[in-house]
Structure 1
Amino acid sequence: MNKFQAWIMAARPRTLPLALASIGMGAFLAASADLFSWQVLLLSALTTIFLQVLSNLANDYGDSIHGADSADREGPTRAVQAGYISPKAMKQAMIIFGILSFASGLWLLLAALPGNQLLLFLFLLLGIAAIFAAITYTSGSKPYGYAGLGDLSVLLFFGIVGVLGSYYLHAQQLSWDHLLPALSCGLFSTAVLNVNNIRDIRTDEMAGKRSIPVRLGRSRAVTYHWMLLFSGILCSVCYVIVNFESWWQFLFVISLPLLIKNGRAVQHKKTSAALDPYLKQMALTTLLYVLTFGIGQLLV
């Protein structure tokens, strides 16, 4: 494997559709209210991509340093653990993508919130918190992912903050009921992480990484997974009931068979190799859910 291939592997492009899901949901909600901005969408997407790549690089570095990506790892190869990229080079790349994330986020806020210094400052703090969360998930002396707090972080940043924050930058307003599709995005994104953590349960336990599946055990982690999937659909159904105007708003149920397929795979497939493809499947299903949910709102 050459250096370019190693960096692409470390950036993990297959995670990018999931990262864009919350941005897409916020944009669809804004478009359904005739408050959509292409500039906000493109800059939000750029910032999100930089943040996701930063998170992936930090995860590669942190898990290798802390031992979760050891020679016993059963999931995909990590660049630092395999020796393709040095820890020093990975730290330098993390700094670069941290700067890119900050610069892109600042550009977004200056474009979306001109003249509103207080809101710009508050959103800037949220952006810094997102950068900090991306880096410290598995990196640093006390990575919160090793304490089992990754699920909460994903629910917050891939759901509530991602959807409501991006919607506000389009619309300059918020509505309480938008919390429901925001929670759906966050719950499905958390389900992606849960598939990852169930796959890695043995090596995570060996490394002292106390993820939710390590804490619960595989059987209860599967139950937790079904709860995430069911709760995500339930939040969406509740949103449509509250805002019902047309049956097109239930278009998102197209994603239901794929969610059930993912839940059954997590329940029945016991090896890491068999379970790994369902990480990508759940990420793409989340993106499909966002597209069908959003289109359904636009067809009203």
Structure 2
Amino acid sequence: MNKFQAWIMAARPRTLPLALASISMGAFLAAAVDLFNWQIFLLSALTTTFLQILSNFANDYGDSIHGADSDLREGPARAVQSGYISPLAMKKAMFIFGFLSFACGVYLLLIALPSNQLLLLIFLLLGLAAIFAAITYTSGSKPYGYAGLGDISVLIFFGLVGVLGSFYLHTQKLQWDYLLPALSCGLFSTAVLNVNNIRDIRTDELAGKKSIPVRIGRRKAITYHWLLLLAGIGCSLVYVIINFESWWQFLFLLSLPLLIKNGRAVQQKTSSSELDPYLKQMALTTLLYVLTFGIGHLFV
């Protein structure tokens, strides 16, 4: 493997659909009320993509330093642990992508909120919090991912902040029922993390990483996974029922067979190598859910 391939591996392209899912959901909701802005969408997508890569780099670095990525790990090879990228080079890359995330986010806010200094400050603080969360998930002296708090962080940033924040930048307005599709995005994104954590349950336990599956055991983690999937679909169903205008709004149910396939795989696949492809499958299913939900609402 050459250096370029190692950096691509460390960036984990299969997780990038999640960076686009919540931003796209907010954009679709804005388009449904005729307030979509292409410039805001593209800048939002670029900012969150930088954030996702930053998070992946920090995770590669942090897990190698703290021991979750070891020779016992059964998932895909990690760049730092495998020696393809040095810890120092990875730390420099984290700084670069942290700066890119911040710079792109500031430009986005200046475009979307040019005359509201208070809101600009609030969104700036949210952006800094997102950067901090991306870095400290598995890096630093007390990474919160090792305390089992990753699921809450994903629900907040890939769901509530991502969807509602994106929608607000387009429209400068919010309404309470948008919490439901935002929660759906967050719950499905949390399910992606749960697949990852069930896959790594043995090595995480040995490294002292108290993920949800490590804390509650594999059997209960499978039940938890089904609850994430069902709650995600349930939130969207409630939203459509409350705002029903056309049967097109149920188009997102096309993603249901893929969600069921993912849940059954998590339940039946016992080896890490068998389960690993379903991390990518769940990420792509989340993006498909957003696309079908959004397209369905554009036909209303």
Q: TM-score range by the shorter chain?
A: over 0.9
Partner of 2:32: 32
Aligned counterparts of 2:13 and 2:220: Cα–Cα separation in 1: 30
Which consecutive unaligned segments of at least 5 residues does structure 2 have?
none
1:131 aligns with 2:105: no
Partner of 1:72: 72
Partner of 2:217: 217
| Aligned-pair CA distance for 1:297 | 0.4
Deviations along 1:277-298, whole A, 9 cap, x unmatched? Answer: 0000000000000000000100
1:1-300 aligned within 5 A: 1-300=1-300
| Aligned-pair CA distance for 1:85 | 0.4
Taking only the aligned residue pairs, the percentage that are identical comes to 82
| Aligned-pair CA distance for 1:258 | 0.4
Letter in 2 for 1:18: L
Helix, strand or coil at the partner of 1:80: helix
Aligned counterparts of 2:208 and 2:282: Cα–Cα separation in 1: 26
| Aligned-pair CA distance for 1:3 | 0.6
| Aligned-pair CA distance for 1:18 | 1.3
Which consecutive unaligned segments of at least 5 residues does structure 1 have?
none
Helix, strand or coil at the partner of 1:55: helix
Aligned counterparts of 1:188 and 1:151: Cα–Cα separation in 2: 11
Aligned counterparts of 1:101 and 1:19: Cα–Cα separation in 2: 12
Letter in 2 for 1:63: D
User: What is the Cα-based RMSD across aligned positions, in Å?
Assistant: 0.4
Letter in 1 for 2:8: I
How does the TM-score come out when normalised to structure 2? 1.00
| Aligned-pair CA distance for 1:275 | 0.1
Aligned counterparts of 1:208 and 1:168: Cα–Cα separation in 2: 39
Aligned counterparts of 2:244 and 2:102: Cα–Cα separation in 1: 39
| Aligned-pair CA distance for 1:269 | 0.3
Deviations along 1:247-267, whole A, 9 cap, x unmatched? Answer: 100000000000000000000
Deviations along 1:106-126, whole A, 9 cap, x unmatched? Answer: 000000001110000000000
Q: Which runs of 4+ in 1 moved over 6 A?
A: none
| Aligned-pair CA distance for 1:13 | 1.0
Helix, strand or coil at the partner of 2:89: helix
Number of equivalent positions: 300
Helix, strand or coil at the partner of 1:104: helix
Helix, strand or coil at the partner of 1:28: helix
Letter in 1 for 2:260: I
Letter in 1 for 2:193: L
Aligned counterparts of 2:43 and 2:55: Cα–Cα separation in 1: 18
Letter in 1 for 2:118: L
Deviations along 1:233-256, whole A, 9 cap, x unmatched? Answer: 000000000100001000000000
Letter in 2 for 1:265: A
